[in-house]
């Protein structure tokens, strides 16, 4: 064939075989039609030559036509010549080692995990595999719901029962894809058959179909058995991802108990070491699945981690499934606001309407409608007035409020002075207190030198003039305009404009100076002096605010009269509620993670954003980052980091193991300790323990469908008797296709032959 | 130190005995009752009504008032300085123009309150017809409805179970309620006539029918209407209900 390759400019030494290819569509109907057409045309042509006397000429013309028709047929059949190099292919055997978590379940009575039998079988049969490799390509894979190739040398040492899911159908789909174009002649599967996807007894029709595409048999090796299997497990706990503080939360728990017998077991819910609720579940011999409902009431806000547990009995196959931890984001259902009004006024009317219409607010308000000197001209029974429940509010239920507002309210004679220290304590322990101005506030309310003054953001100068009347424009400092209280618009410039657009207030309380650590967020300017009108302060765990006017309603009603809207008034009060009740987004130190849940060994990216109490970012400051496990608080990382020019920073954490973690960022700024925290979960699905039993049926069905054999692994299991087909398979390593018809000389010859024929016919007197 | 405590005690006692300050902070916080000065008819047949009511409010309640005669046209932007408006009359008046209607509608829709007081002694006076025409244009589609007996107006300060005025043309109040808030109340019973007191302290108008008791109830209703405008449905809060219902049960055992 050397001459043939030379004809097309190829070296024969590069190939060792050739093959002629025809256009596949030319076969069948087309070819038959073409054959009939050629025979008919030759017959008609022969009859048309009857007028030619010379038999040689007749024969010459007929030969021309035959050659022409042959060339036409060639173009239709599109013949191609393939030069190729072919090599013999080694048949392959795949060895699949199930490394899912269920392989870690103990078998009895040896109390060795199922994976132990796989390791033992691999070690005992090393020589078998070495021998097998002489005739076959032997590939090893760890399988679960995917296949991971592993060299024989590492097959035992790297084997770990850690994969989180078993899906043998997917494994065989991946295997088929992996060996596409190769000669897979057999599979050895080492598994417990605890496939989470196969619900029907045996195997599903789709799985069967996939198996039939394999050439060779699947020999299955069962690791472990169900003899003496004993396990108590929390299979599932259904609880909402979030709950409301002080509102009951339900959890539905599914338990499974196999081989435990008749027992009463406690199901306990804990937060940290504190038991929240427990319930006794009665196990019976006949049942292996139970449901129990628990109810508990979250007492703290934020991401809380709760753990359910049942006792671990001796000889249990799996111990880790006897507990179940879950996270609940506890939020406020509604913000409870106590709004005390010294007297009915337009300011209190508009604020009450705003609070009452806010779906997030649970409002309790009191108006002092009459004083001791008022002459109502009626008996008590003719009045709708009720006694002010002072003691109830300020000694018994004060802590149930998220925010207490004194709106132009003078405490005497309604609140006993000794109860003022309760308000101070309430704030220091995390409460919020707002004093709104007026003639009954600050000095007018007698709060100077009282426990309330200690927590107020202003100090009261009792000997000064008390009020400044007139149209006064509230100004907010530009650098503080992004304070959560002042954020009427998200864009800083628009925000400043929004404040400038508000109508003036018509009076402020004066004689107030900012307390230590307080921030003046709004002021009015009078005779060249700035008078604080809006002052905020962090007091230990709580927050306080002073609004030194009772005419903020101008920002609503008067603004409408000027053609605007009360939008900014509403927004301002939303800000006040959010900031005072310490909504997480109002914390000066914000710590976030890129996700809330991570898989094992995934990298956790922590981002923090640090501002001072005035909410001005702190660039280039040192912060301390502490990573801890929850709920035990084991410290994993303690590192000092610096914020960038935006007051931000990043940290990457590799938790590795499953569990709950917290990231805390803290710093000291202006003598105050600021901190922020976020929590996240690293999980490793426990789904493998939902079907922990060895599935002999599945493994047997697998081998039966493929013509393989089923074995149970034991101490001395040998593979010597296994056999695999060994067909001779060749593989084409290189080739070149050459067209025999698609060339200039084919078409030129057709035209030339027809021209000669035409010329001879003309000379012979034919048309 | 001892001296300080004595002073403090004296101050506190003084606070209890004389808790009312001289004035509220800012004029805007005080309650003023401007009268609507419409065109045509008599917009001020009871010249002392508003001031007399304010005086009663100051005497009976903790509300800070500013007693000054103030008349505002319905389209005046100054209306938005005064959430409570009073409109009296005893005869037909000219329809409000669109600008006036719009201003008044905005005022009432965004927090204002209007008390309309028919000062005629006749039940279906020309003023009544004009008022109904005006309200129909002011709140098209929202009917003027009788206020039910459990409306907060009847329990905002006094517990009331009768609606009267100088006369009792209609023993009920009518009102426009939008988004859960009554923004307009119409009385056809000449409340202003019952309230109106001269500077010398004499009642300006005699009562028709009920005498002193009727005047007392009229004054109480006036106080309640202003208290409702200032506190809205405060008296429907759960904390008040048990006591109010118990007192109402005693007054009216049925």
The residue in chain A having the minimum alpha-carbon distance to the alpha carbon of residue B61 is: A370
Tell which residue, A338, A389, A341, has the closest CA to residue A368: A341
Q: Are A291 and A234 in contact (CB under 8 A)?
A: no
Cα of A402 to nearest chain B Cα, Å: 18
Residue A131 CA to residue A154 CA, distance in Å, equals 18
Minimum-distance CB partner of A566 among B62, B64, B110: B110
Please give the angle made by the CA atoms of A754, A755 and A760, to the nearest 5 degrees. 100
Is the dihedral angle over the CA atoms B204, B208, B214, B220 positive or is it negative?
Answer: negative
d(C-alpha A712, C-alpha A715), whole Å: 10
pLDDT score recorded for residue A286? 84
In residues, how long is chain B? 254
Cβ contacts (< 8 Å) between B150 and chain A: which residues?
none
The pLDDT of residue A383 is above 90: yes
Give the model's pLDDT for residue B6.
37
Average pLDDT, chain B: 88
A756 has pLDDT over 60: yes
Residues B170, A426: Cα–Cα separation, whole Å: 53
Q: How far is B223 from B50, CA to CA, in rounded Å? A: 11
A562 contact residues in B (CB cutoff 8 A): 77, 80
Tens-digit pLDDT profile for residues A88-110: 888 999 999 999 999 999 888 88
Going by pLDDT thresholds of 50, 70 and 90, the confidence category of residue A37 is confident
Q: Which chain A positions have a beta carbon within 8 Å of B107's beta carbon?
A: 561
Judged against a pLDDT cut of 80, whether residue B108 lies above it is answered with yes
Bond preceding residue A109 cis, omega within 30 of 0: yes
Closest-CA residue in chain A for B155? A384
- Which positions in chain B touch A370 (Cβ < 8 Å)? 60-62
Same fold, A231-331 and A335-580: no
Q: Taking CA atoms, what residue in A is nearest to B65? A: A345
Can you spell out the DSSP letters for A550-577? Answer: S-GGGGTHHHHHTT--SHHHHHHHHHHH
CB A711 within 8 A of CB A219: yes
Residue B185: beta bridge partners?
B115, B175
pLDDT of residue A767: 62
Query: Which of B17, B26, B230 has the highest number of chain A CBs within 10 A, making it the mutation to test binding with A?
Result: B26
Nearest to A352 among B17, B24, B234 (CB): B234
Q: Tell whether B156 is within 8 A of chain A (Cβ).
A: yes
Average pLDDT of span A712-737? 84
CA pair distance A461, A532, nearest whole angstrom: 13
**What pLDDT score was predicted for residue B11?**
32
CATH class entry, domain A335-580: alpha beta
> Which range among A284-288, A746-750, B115-119 has the greatest average pLDDT?
B115-119
Q: What confidence category does residue A691 fall into, taking pLDDT thresholds of 50, 70 and 90?
A: confident
Average pLDDT over residues A432-454: 95
Q: Do B19 and A507 touch (CB under 8 A)?
A: no
**pLDDT band for position A214 (50/70/90)?**
confident
Measure the CA–CA gap between A381 and B246, rounded to whole angstroms: 9
Q: Which of B18, B28, B103 to mutate to test the interface with A (most CBs of A within 10 A)?
A: B28
The pLDDT assigned to A26 comes to 53
The answer to whether the Cβ–Cβ distance between A376 and B28 falls below 8 Å is no
| pLDDT number for residue A732 | 78
Q: What is the mean pLDDT of chain A?
A: 89
Q: Do A560 and B106 touch (CB under 8 A)?
A: yes
A·B CB contacts under 8 A: 181
Q: Averaged over B179-187, what is the pLDDT?
A: 96
- The two three-digit tokens of residue A157, written as one number: 């040492």
Best residue of A387, A561, A568 to probe chain B, by most B CBs closer than 10 Å: A561
Contacts of B11 in chain A (CB under 8 A): 446
Query: Any CB–CB contact under 8 A between B227 and chain A?
Result: yes
The mean pLDDT value for A649-678 works out to 90
Q: Can you tell me which residue has the tokens 């038991």?
A: A275
Which residues in chain B touch residue A383, judged by CB atoms under 8 angstroms apart? 157-159, 247
Hey, where are the domains in chain A? 2-87+736-763, 92-225+693-726, 231-331, 335-580, 587-683
Homologous superfamily assigned to A92-225+693-726:
von Willebrand factor, type A domain (3.40.50.410)
How much of chain B, in percent, has pLDDT values that exceed 70?
87
pLDDT digits (tens, 9 = 90+) for B23-36: 445 566 789 999 99
Question: Is the pLDDT at A434 greater than 90, yes or no?
Answer: yes
Nearest to B159 among A345, A384, A440 (CB): A384
CATH for A231-331, among 3.40.50.720, 2.60.40.10, 3.40.50.10860, 1.10.260.40?
Answer: 2.60.40.10
Q: Kindly report, residue by residue over A489-533, the tens digit of the pLDDT.
A: 988 889 989 999 999 999 999 999 999 999 999 999 988 899 999
* CATH top-level class of A587-683: mainly beta
How confident is the model over A613-623, as a mean pLDDT?
93
Nearest to A560 among B29, B110, B159 (CB): B110
Lowest mean pLDDT among A51-65, A251-265, A594-608, B76-90: A51-65
User: Which of A43-57, A246-260, A460-474, B4-18 is the most confident on average?
Assistant: A246-260
8-state DSSP, A109: T
- Other Cβ atoms within 10 Å of A637 Cβ, number: 14
Each residue of A221-245: pLDDT tens digit?
999 988 888 899 998 899 998 898 8
Q: Who wins on pLDDT, A104 or B9?
A: A104
Closest CA to B65 of B77, B83, B75, B53: B53
Please state the rounded mean pLDDT for residues A322-327.
Answer: 88
User: pLDDT above 70 covers what percent of chain A?
Assistant: 98
Which of A373, A383, A508 lies nearest to residue B20, judging by beta carbons? A373
Phi first, then psi: what are they for A484, rounded to 5°?
-55, -25
Contact B77 A372 (CB under 8 A): no
Q: How far is B181 from chain A (nearest CA, A)?
A: 10
Best CA proximity match to B83, nearest among A65, A190, A346: A346
What does the pLDDT read at residue A65? Answer: 84
Please judge whether B63 and A344 are an interchain contact, meaning their C-beta atoms are less than 8 angstroms apart.
yes
Tens-digit pLDDT profile for residues A246-263: 889 999 999 999 888 899
| Nearest Cβ partner for A350 among B11, B111, B220 | B111
Q: What is the DSSP string of B34-99?
A: -EE--SSS-S-SSTTHHHHHHHHHHHHSS--B-----EE-TT-GGGGG-SEEEEEESS--PPPPHH
Kindly identify which residue of chain B lies nearest to residue A558, measuring between CA atoms: B80
Count of C-beta atoms within a 10 Å radius of residue B202: 8
Closest partner residue to A557 (CB to CB) among B26, B62, B110 is B110
User: What would you report as the CA-atom Rg of chain A, rounded to the nearest whole angstrom?
Assistant: 44
Distance from CA of A408 to the nearest CA of B (A): 9
B150 touches chain A (CB under 8 A): no
For A381, the closest of B219, B220, B250 (CB atoms) is B250
Residues of chain A with pLDDT > 90, as a percent, come to 56
| Residue B19 with chain A: CB contacts under 8 Å | 371-373, 410, 412-413
Min distance B95 CA to chain A CA atoms (Å): 22
- B contact test, residue of A343, A437, A524 with most B CBs within 10 A: A343
Closest CA to A739 of A84, A67, A69, A22: A22
What confidence category does residue B119 fall into, taking pLDDT thresholds of 50, 70 and 90? very high
Q: State whether CATH 3.40.50.12140 applies to domain B26-251.
A: yes
Closest by CA to B51, choosing from B23, B24, B88, B105, is B88
Task: Look at B19 and A347 and tell me if their CB atoms are within 8 Å.
Answer: no
Residues in chain A closer than 8 A to B17 (CB atoms): 372-373
Question: How many CB atoms are closer than 10 A to CB A723?
Answer: 11
pLDDT score at A688: 81
pLDDT band at B20 (very low <50, low <70, confident <90, very high): very low
* Residue numbers in A near B77 (CB within 8 A): 561-562
CA distance A349 to chain B (A): 5
């Amino acid at each position: 064939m050397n001459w043939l390759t030379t004809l097309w400019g190829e070296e024969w030494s590069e190939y060792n075989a050739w093959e002629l290819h025809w256009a596949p569509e030319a076969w069948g109907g087309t070819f038959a039609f073409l054959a009939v057409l050629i025979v008919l045309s030759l017959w008609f042509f022969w009859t048309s030559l009857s007028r030619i006397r010379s038999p040689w000429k007749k024969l010459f013309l007929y030969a021309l036509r035959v050659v022409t028709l042959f060339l036409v047929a060639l173009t239709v059949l599109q013949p191609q010549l393939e030069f190729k190099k072919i090599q013999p292919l080694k048949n392959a055997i795949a060895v699949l080692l199930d490394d899912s978590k269920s392989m870690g379940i103990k078998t009895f009575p040896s109390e060795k995990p199922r994976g132990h039998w796989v390791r033992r079988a691999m070690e005992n049969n090393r020589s078998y595999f070495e021998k097998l490799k002489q005739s076959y390509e032997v590939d090893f894979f760890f399988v679960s719901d995917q296949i991971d190739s592993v060299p024989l040398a590492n097959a035992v040492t790297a084997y770990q029962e850690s994969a989180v899911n078993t899906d043998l159908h997917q494994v065989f789909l991946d295997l088929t894809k992996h060996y596409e174009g190769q000669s897979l002649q057999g599979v050895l599967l080492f598994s417990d058959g605890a496939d989470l996807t196969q619900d029907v007894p045996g195997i599903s029709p789709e799985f069967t179909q996939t198996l039939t595409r394999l050439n060779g048999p699947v020999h299955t090796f069962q690791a472990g058995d169900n003899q003496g299997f004993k396990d108590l497990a929390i299979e599932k706990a259904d609880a909402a991802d979030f709950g409301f503080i002080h509102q009951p939360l339900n959890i539905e728990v599914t338990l499974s108990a196999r081989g435990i017998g008749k027992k009463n077991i406690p199901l306990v819910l804990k937060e940290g070491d504190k038991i929240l609720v427990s319930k006794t579940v009665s196990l019976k011999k006949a049942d292996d699945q139970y449901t129990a409902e628990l109810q508990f009431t979250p007492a703290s806000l934020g991401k809380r981690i709760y753990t359910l547990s049942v006792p671990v009995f001796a000889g249990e196959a799996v111990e880790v499934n006897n507990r179940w931890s879950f996270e609940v984001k506890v939020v406020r259902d509604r913000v409870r606001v106590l709004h005390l009004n010294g007297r009915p006024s337009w300011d209190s009317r508009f604020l009450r309407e705003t609070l009452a219409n806010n779906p997030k607010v649970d409002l309790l308000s009191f108006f002092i409608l009459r004083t001791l000197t008022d002459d109502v001209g009626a008996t008590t029974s003719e009045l709708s007035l009720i006694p002010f429940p002072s003691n109830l509010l300020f000694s018994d239920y004060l802590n149930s409020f998220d925010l207490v507002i004194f709106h132009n309210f003078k405490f005497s004679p309604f609140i006993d002075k000794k109860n003022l220290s309760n308000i101070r304590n309430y704030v220091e322990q995390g409460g919020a207190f707002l004093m709104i101005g007026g003639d009954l506030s600050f000095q007018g309310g007698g709060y100077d030198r009282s426990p309330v003054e200690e927590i107020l953001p202003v100090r009261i100068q009792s000997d000064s003039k008390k009020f400044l009347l007139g149209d006064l424009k509230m100004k907010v400092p530009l650098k503080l305009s992004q304070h959560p209280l002042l954020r009427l618009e998200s864009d800083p410039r628009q925000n400043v404009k929004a404040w400038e657009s508000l109508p003036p207030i018509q009076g402020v309380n004066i004689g107030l100076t900012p307390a230590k650590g307080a921030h003046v967020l709004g002021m009015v300017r009078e005779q060249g002096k700035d008078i604080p009108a809006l002052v905020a302060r962090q007091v230990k765990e709580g927050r306080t605010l002073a609004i030194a006017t009772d005419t903020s309603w101008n920002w609503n009603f008067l603004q409408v009269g000027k053609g605007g809207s009360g939008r900014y008034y509403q927004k301002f009060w939303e800000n006040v509620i959010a900031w005072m009740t310490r909504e997480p987004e109002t914390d000066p130190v914000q710590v976030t993670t890129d996700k809330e849940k991570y898989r094992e060994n995934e990298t956790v990216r922590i981002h923090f954003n640090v501002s001072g109490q005035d909410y001005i970012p702190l660039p280039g400051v040192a912060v301390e980052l502490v990573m801890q496990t929850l709920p035990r608080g084991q410290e994993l990382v303690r590192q000092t980091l610096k914020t960038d020019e935006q007051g931000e920073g990043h940290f990457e954490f590799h938790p590795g193991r499953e569990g709950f973690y917290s990231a805390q960022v803290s710093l000291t700024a202006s003598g105050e300790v600021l901190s922020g925290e976020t929590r996240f979960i690293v999980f490793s699905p426990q789904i493998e323990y939902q079907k922990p039993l060895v599935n002999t049926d599945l493994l047997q069905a697998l081998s039966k469908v493929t013509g393989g054999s089923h074995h149970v692994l034991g101490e001395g299991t040998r593979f010597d008797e296994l056999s695999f087909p060994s067909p001779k398979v060749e593989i084409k390593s290189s080739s070149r296709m050459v067209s025999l018809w698609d060339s200039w000389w084919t078409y030129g010859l057709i035209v030339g032959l027809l021209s000669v024929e035409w010329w001879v016919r003309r000379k012979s007197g034919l048309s | 130190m001892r001296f300080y405590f004595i002073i403090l005690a004296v101050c506190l006692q003084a606070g209890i005995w004389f808790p009312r300050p001289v004035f509220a902070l800012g004029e805007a916080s005080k309650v003023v009752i401007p009268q609507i000065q419409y065109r045509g008819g008599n917009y001020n047949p009871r010249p002392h009504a508003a001031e007399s009511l304010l005086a009663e409010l100051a005497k009976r309640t903790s509300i800070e008032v500013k007693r000054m005669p103030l008349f505002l046209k319905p389209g005046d932007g100054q209306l938005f300085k005064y959430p409570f408006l009073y409109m009296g009359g005893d005869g037909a008046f000219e329809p409000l123009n669109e600008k006036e209607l719009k201003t008044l509608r905005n005022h009432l829709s965004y927090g204002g309150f209007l008390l309309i007081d028919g000062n005629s002694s006749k039940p279906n006076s020309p003023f009544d017809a004009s008022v109904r025409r005006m309200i129909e244009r002011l709140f098209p589609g929202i009917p003027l409805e009788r206020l039910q007996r459990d409306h907060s107006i009847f329990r905002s300060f006094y517990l009331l179970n009768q609606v009267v005025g100088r006369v009792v043309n209609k023993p009920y109040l009518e009102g426009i309620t939008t988004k859960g808030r009554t923004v307009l109340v119409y009385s056809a019973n000449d409340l202003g006539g019952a309230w109106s007191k001269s500077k010398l302290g004499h009642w300006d108008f005699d009562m028709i029918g009920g005498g002193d008791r009727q005047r007392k109830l009229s004054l109480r209703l006036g106080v309640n209407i202003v208290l409702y405008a200032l506190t809205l449905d405060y008296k429907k809060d759960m904390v008040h209900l048990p006591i109010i219902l118990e007192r109402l049960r005693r007054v009216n055992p049925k």
